[in-house]
Structure 1
Amino acid sequence: MGGLDEVGRDDAVRTAEPAGAAHDRHWAGGLRSALLCPALLLGLLLLVDRGIGDLTWWRAGVWTALAVLLFLVLFPARVTAGPGWLASRGLLHGRLVRTDRLRSVRWSDGISQRVVLRDALGGRVDVDARVLAANPHLWHRLSEDARTARELGFLVSGEAALRRLSERIDREAAADVFKVSGLE
């Protein structure tokens, strides 16, 4: 995806994942959970309504709508990265950022800690920090491209956010090593 411009940005997100691209290894598990939780909730609600004798088509429709809404909220974004780009594909839309032309990196605190990446072409992607921490290939790709953006003079803000993210990933990796080796 070497020469992406603003016009080709959406097409690049829609295309199949190129060979050699890093992707979120845990996405399939997140999708299973996003399907399982609403299905269990729907089954439980229908079972309870049936048990007390209040199950009607109208109530079943409301419970089904609630389960669909929960699925939409829980659906995980699929994060993929290759040389010079990072893409996040949700249920309804995809976004792409040129990581070799990063303009800023911002850490967004809140319930879900997110990393907000913006490029010189106006692209913007929000990535859950846990996805980068759980996928070393994604983090490595982003880190290398951020270094390139810094060397080329594109990266004007975000050094502290990248350092904070790097420290978090190193801390979690060290904890995993201690846990696996029995030294925790």
Structure 2
Amino acid sequence: MEHLDDTRPRLTGSWPAGAGTVVHDRGWLPGVHSAVRCAGALFGLLLGIDWAAGTLTWWRGVLWVLLALLLLIVLFPVRVSAGPGWLATRRLLRTRRIRTDLLTAVRPVDGVNRRLVLRDALGGRVEIDPEVLIGNPDLWYRLDEGARRSEAAGTLLCGRDALHRLARRLDRESAMGVFRASGME
């Protein structure tokens, strides 16, 4: 039930359209090449061992192809892209997209591989690796720009500290990169 004095921002479902450029993860294509090489090497190794042992049959060959394809699917990297007011991740079969200017929660997940889980007010959810943001300052700029807007609008309810820690880490990494490039390490 809505009250007359309700001060929450009105949420719309339209995606921001603008003349801003879309930026992509620069490390995605080398990741794809690495996944293909690993799957191809596994396939060649299994096929070679089976052939050398004299046990290669057509159905074992199909099994090795399926195993190599499974490895390719597991190793295939996520493609991250961002534009003004949105961030998207694309896997092999699914694309997830959030509005960065309507962020409600940012939660770091620690474990074997670190993840940053972002949620928006429209119900969107995206998981990204923080290393992708560190390696792509343009992606970080788009995310930070939208997060600042959502923080100013009051929609970012959880995770401000996580974003500020990530921003400090990115600044530290950028400074170290400049020092390394200038020989002042």
Q: Which band: TM-score by shorter chain?
A: 0.7 to 0.9
Q: What does residue 126 of structure 1 align with?
A: 127
Cα shift at 1:177: 2.5
Trace 1:18-33 onto structure 2 (pairs within 5 A): 20-33=21-34
Cα shift at 1:4: 6.9
Say if 1:96 and 1:54 are closer, same or farther in 2 by CA, change over 3 A.
same
Aligned-partner Cα distance in 2 for 1:4–1:20? 22
Trace 1:158-173 onto structure 2 (pairs within 5 A): 158-173=159-174
Trace 1:76-155 onto structure 2 (pairs within 5 A): 76-155=77-156
User: What CA RMSD, in Å, does the superposition of the two structures yield over aligned residues?
Assistant: 2.0
Aligned pair 1:181/2:182, yes or no? yes
Say if 1:134 and 1:4 are closer, same or farther in 2 by CA, change over 3 A.
farther
Question: Across the two proteins, how many residue pairs are aligned to each other?
Answer: 173
**Greater radius of gyration (CA):** 2
Cα shift at 1:166: 1.4
| Partner amino acid, structure 1, of 2:167 | S
Q: What does residue 69 of structure 1 align with?
A: 70
Say if 1:111 and 1:4 are closer, same or farther in 2 by CA, change over 3 A.
farther
Say if 1:163 and 1:49 are closer, same or farther in 2 by CA, change over 3 A.
same
Q: What does residue 5 of structure 2 align with?
A: none
Aligned-partner Cα distance in 1 for 2:149–2:20? 22
TM-score normalised to structure 2 length: 0.86
Once superposed, which parts of structure 1, at least 4 consecutive aligned residues long, lie more than 4 Å away? none
Cα shift at 1:19: 6.6
Is this contact kept in 1: 2:84–2:142, CA < 8 A? yes
Cα shift at 1:69: 0.6
Where structure 2 has 5 or more consecutive residues not aligned to the other structure, the ranges are 1-10
Aligned-partner Cα distance in 2 for 1:4–1:28? 34
The residue matched to 2:108 in structure 1 has which SS? strand
Aligned-partner Cα distance in 2 for 1:140–1:92? 27
**Taking every aligned residue pair, what percent have the same amino acid on both sides?**
52
Where structure 1 has 5 or more consecutive residues not aligned to the other structure, the ranges are 13-17
The residue matched to 2:93 in structure 1 has which SS? coil
Aligned-partner Cα distance in 1 for 2:46–2:170? 40
Is this contact kept in 1: 2:21–2:84, CA < 8 A? no
TM-score normalised to structure 1 length: 0.87
